[in-house]
Structure 1
Amino acid sequence: MTDALDDIAAILERTGDYRVLRRLGPFVPPAAEPDEPTFVGLILDTETTGIDVTADEVIELGIIKFEYGASGRIYRVLERFNQLHQPSIPIPEAVVRLTGITDADVAGQRIDDAAVEALAAEARVVIAHNARFDRQMCERRWPVFVSRNWACSCHQIPWRAEGHEGMRLGHLLADHGRFHNGHRAIDDCEALLAILARPLRTSGRLAFTALLEAARRPTVRLWASDAPIALKDRLKDRNYRWSPRRRCWYVDLDEEQIEIERTFLSREIYRGTLPSGLPADRFTARDRFSNRADPEA
C-alpha cells in the first residue's frame, strides 16, 4: 500500500498543480564514519503550562542526543529522551488544545532529573528552536544547563535570506515536503534535527553549519542610552528593541558591526555627538539567551 500511495503522490506532484507533504519519520543520518573531530550535541524542546519563564512549569521534555563534527555534519543519533511531568496546577485549556497533553496524561508522571543532568553533562551545545524561552525554563529546573553553550535555530539561521517565508518548525518542514506532530516535544526535536541536517536553499551550506558559526561568534548588545523618544521609530526600523527593565533601547550585533552602528547613532540619533561611555555588553553561547543576558527577564 505504501508503494502505491507513493506512486499516487509522485503523479500528483508531476502535474505541477499539487504539493504532497509526507510524514516525517525518526531521523536517520547517512552512514558515514567521521573524518573529523566529533562532539556531542542536544536538540531540546519543552512543552509548558504557559509562556512565563519565571512561573510556568515544564510538562514535557524532549531531547535528542547526537554526534556531530566541527563542520556541522551530523553522524549519529546517540539517545532519544521524552518524559511527561505533572505540574502543580491543572494544565490550562489553551495548552491542552495546543499540545493535546491533558491532566490525565501527566497524572503521577515526573521527569527524571538525574537522567536529564546526565544527558546534558557532556553536551558541547544545546539547540532549541526558541532558545530564549527553552533555556530559561530549563535553567530553573536543571542547573546543569546554566553552564552549557546554547544556540537558537529560529533566530541564528537566516531563514528568510535562504528562501523561507516563515521560521516556525512546521513552515520550515513543509518547505522540505514534510509534516510532523507539532507541539509535542520529541516530535519537534525530530523535526529540528532533520532540518539542521539539510543544506540551506540559497547558500547550499548545511543548516547546522550556519547555526554553529553563528553560535560561536561573540555578540555585543549596544544600548542607546537617553535616545530621544521622538526617534524611537527610527530605532525600531533599525531592529532596536525596548528593555522595560532598563528603560532603554538596545540592539544585538556581531562585533564587526559595532563601529558602523556607533556611526549611525551619532549621525541619526544623537545629532553628531555620541555620548561617551555608551554601554555595551558582550555575550557568547555560554550566556546568550539566558536570564543573565535577557534585558526583559
Structure 2
Amino acid sequence: MTTESAANLPDWVTCNLPIAQGIKGEIDRLCNLVHDSSGDQKLSYLMTLAHARDRLRNLGFRWSHYLRISDLSDLGKFMRSQAIKVEREIGVKFSVAQKPVGRANALFVDTETTGLGLDDEPISLAAVLTEIDCTSGRVVQEIASYHGFREPHCKISPGAFAVHGITKASLSGKEFDLMMFVCLFQSANICIAHNASFDARMIHRILPRDSYTAQWACSCWDVEWPSLGNRKLDTISEALGIHRTTPHDAMADVRTMMNALQLEKHEGGTYLLSLLSRASAARKLASF
C-alpha cells in the first residue's frame, strides 16, 4: 500500500499500514536482540520474534489485496540459525516453524432483489466486515459495515415485493456506493451468506468475480443446524430464540445470521466454527 493509493481508501483499510510497519520495526529490533544475546535470553527473544513474524504474516493474509508483506524467507533462515545456537548453548530445541494466528476477515452479506430469476438484480445490499477467530468461531471485532439501495433496470416481481416490501419508486435515483462495496469484498478472506450461491450471483451482477479473491461459504448449507423443518433464516432464528425486528431487511438479516452463527451448539463450539470446519472455502484460513 503506497501513500498515494492509501489516500483513496477508507481509514479501516489504511490503518493497517502503520500496524504492519510497527510489527516490522519490532521484528528488526528483536533480530538485533536475538543476535546479541545468548542462552535463555536468546531463547526468550527468539520466541517473541517468532510470534511477531506470525502476526505480520497473518496481517498480510487478512489484508492481502492492500498490503504487500516482504518475503520472510531470509528472516526464517536467521531464526533457524539462532535456534541451532540456542540448542548448543542450553540444550533446548525450539521450532521456528510458522504457527497460525487463526484470525481472518469474514464478510457477512445479504441482498434483497427484484426476484429469483437469472435476469433479476440486487436492490438492497448489507455487509458487515469482521475479524474472526478461526479457532473459537467468534467475531473478535466489527471492522466496517454498509447498507445501501439501488434502482434496478427491471421490474420488482410481485413475489419479491411480498417478501421485502421495497418499491421501485422508493429506489428512484439510488445507487450503491461502489467504492465501499469494492473495499469490503477486497478486504474479505471469506464471504458468508445464507444461501450463498444466490447472493453471490446477485453480487456478481454489480461486482465482477475476478475483482476479489475471497471464496463464499453458506450459513444455510455449510452449518450443522438443529433438525428443523427447513433451513430458512426465519425458522433458524425462531428455534434459537433470536428476536428479529425487521425480517427480510438486508442488514437485519445479516445481524440475525451473525448472532445465530455465534451461538454455542449443544455438543460444544459455535455454529460459525461448524461452518469454518465444513466449508471448503474456509480450509486455508486455518494455516494463517
Q: What's the TM-score bracket when you normalise by the shorter of the two chains?
A: 0.5 to 0.7
Question: Would you say the 8 A contact 2:215–2:281 is kept in 1?
Answer: no
Shift, 1:40, TM fit? 1.0
Deviations 1:251-297 (A, max 9, x none): xxxxxxxxxxxxxxxxxxxxxxxxxxxxxxxxx89xxxxxxxxxxxx
The yes-or-no answer on 1:64 pairing with 2:128 is yes
Deviations 1:143-201 (A, max 9, x none): 25663211001011122xx3444311111111122231221111110000000111123
Q: 1:147 maps to what in 2? A: 213
> Within 2, Cα distance between the matches of 1:37 and 1:94?
42
Q: 1:260 maps to what in 2? A: none
Between Structure 1 and Structure 2, the one with more strand by share is 1
Q: 1:158 maps to what in 2? A: 224
The one of 89, 92, 110 equivalent to 2:157 is 92
Q: 2:257 maps to what in 1? A: 192
What is the SS of the residue equivalent to 2:205? helix
Question: Residues 10-25 of structure 1: matches in 2 within 5 Å?
Answer: none
Shift, 1:217, TM fit? 7.2
What is the SS of the residue equivalent to 1:179? coil
Deviations 1:101-123 (A, max 9, x none): 11232111101112111011120
**Aligned amino acid, residue 167 of structure 2:** T
Question: Would you say the 8 A contact 1:66–1:74 is kept in 2?
Answer: yes
> Within 1, Cα distance between the matches of 2:196 and 2:256?
16
CA RMSD of aligned residues (A): 2.2
Q: 1:5 maps to what in 2? A: none
Deviations 1:19-52 (A, max 9, x none): xxxxxxxxxxxxxxxx954221100011111112
Deviates more, 1:140-149 or 1:175-184: 140-149
Corresponding residue pairs, total = 182
The yes-or-no answer on 1:136 pairing with 2:201 is yes
Q: 2:26 maps to what in 1? A: none
**Aligned amino acid, residue 280 of structure 2:** R
The one of 265, 269, 276 equivalent to 1:205 is 269
Q: 2:170 maps to what in 1? A: 105
> Within 2, Cα distance between the matches of 1:80 and 1:115?
9
Shift, 1:81, TM fit? 0.8
> Within 2, Cα distance between the matches of 1:94 and 1:192?
23
Question: Would you say the 8 A contact 1:60–1:82 is kept in 2?
Answer: yes
**Aligned amino acid, residue 234 of structure 2:** G
Question: Would you say the 8 A contact 1:170–1:179 is kept in 2?
Answer: no
> Within 2, Cα distance between the matches of 1:47 and 1:92?
12
The gaps in structure 1 that reach 5 residues or longer are 1-34, 219-283, 286-297
> Within 1, Cα distance between the matches of 2:121 and 2:219?
23
Shift, 1:96, TM fit? 1.8
The gaps in structure 2 that reach 5 residues or longer are 1-99
**How many percent identity over aligned positions?**
27
Judged with a 3 Å threshold, the aligned counterparts in structure 2 of structure 1 residues 139 and 195 are, in CA distance, closer, same or farther, namely same
Question: Residues 1-297 of structure 1: matches in 2 within 5 Å?
Answer: 36-52=101-117, 54-71=118-135, 72-144=137-209, 147-159=213-225, 162-180=226-244, 181-201=246-266, 203-216=267-280
Question: Would you say the 8 A contact 1:45–1:186 is kept in 2?
Answer: yes
Shift, 1:56, TM fit? 0.8
